[in-house]
Amino acid sequence: MYDHILIPTDGSNVAEVAVDHAIDLARKYDATLHALYVVDIDAVNLGLGTEQVDRIRQGHFGDMEELEEKANAATGAVADAAAEHGLDVVEDVRVGRPHSVIADYAEANDIDIVVMGSHGRSGVKRALLGSVTERVLRSTHRPVLVVDEHGED
C-alpha cells in the first residue's frame, strides 16, 4: 500500500512525533522514508540580497552555516531513527515555499502518503505565515496523515 512515505521535518518536537508515525508505517509496509527539510525562502529572504537568495536556492548556503546545519540535523535525525529499524531513507534539503515544495516533491517522487506534524512553528510566525500543514492539504492530491504534538492523528 505504501512504498514511499514523505516526512517533511523542521526538527521541531511535533515533527519528531510525526517521524515516529512515519517509521511505524514504513516498518509495516517495508517502505522507503523520504526526509525533507524545506528552507523557507520567504523567511530567509528577509534582509538578504538577491544574490544570496539565489545561492541558497541552488543549495549553496555560504556563510549561513547554521541554517545548513539545522537542515542536515533535521533530516539526519529521521535517518538515524529509521536506521534503528533497518529502513531505507532518502534525505533531501530544498529551498522554496514549504507547502509548494512538499507538494511538488510528493508528486515528483511518487509519494504514497505524507506524514507531517500539525504545526512546527508557533506564535506570531505561525499566525502571520499560516499553517504549512493546512496549505499542504490544499496543495496535494496525495494522502496526508496529520499528527499533533501529542502523537494523536
Band of pLDDT at residue 125, cut at 50, 70 and 90: very low
Average pLDDT of span 49-67: 66
> What is the model's pTM?
0.83
Q: pLDDT exceeding 90 applies to what percent of the chain?
A: 53
Show the DSSP H helices in the chain as ranges. Answer: 13-29, 41-45, 50-57, 65-83, 98-108, 123-129, 132-139
- Identify the pLDDT of residue 20: 94
In this prediction, residues 125-144 reach a mean pLDDT of: 77
| Spatial distance between the Cα atoms of 51 and 65, rounded to a whole number of angstroms | 17
pLDDT of 73 > 90? The answer is yes
The pLDDT tens digits for 92-121 are 998 888 999 999 999 999 999 999 988 655
What pLDDT is attached to residue 64?
Answer: 66
Please give the grid coordinates belonging to residue 72.
542536515
Query: Residue 129: its pLDDT value, please?
Result: 37
Q: Mind listing the domains of the chain with CATH numbers?
A: 4-129 (3.40.50.620)
The 10s digit of each residue's pLDDT in 12-42 is 888 889 999 999 999 999 999 999 999 887 7
